[in-house]
Amino acid sequence: MSDFRAALEAALARPVTDDEVDQAYRLGHAAGRLLRRRIGPVPHSQYPDAAIALAIVRVVSRVVGGGVLEITDDDHRWLAQAAATMRPPHPFTRA
pLDDT > 90? residue 6: no
Average pLDDT, the chain: 85
Cβ proximity of 43 and 23 under 8 Å: no
The pTM of the full predicted model, rounded to 2 decimals, is: 0.77
How far apart (Å, rounded) are the C-alpha atoms in residues 36 and 95?
35
- The whole-number average pLDDT for the span 7-16 is 85
Distances (CA, A) of 40 to 32, 35, 44, 53, 54: 12, 8, 11, 16, 18
pLDDT > 90? residue 81: yes
Q: What is the pLDDT of residues 49-79, one digit of tens each?
A: 888 888 888 899 888 888 889 999 999 899 9
Nearest to 23, CA basis, from 52, 66, 54: 66
Q: Is 31 helix (H, G, I), strand (E, B) or coil?
A: helix
Percent of the chain at pLDDT exceeding 90: 11
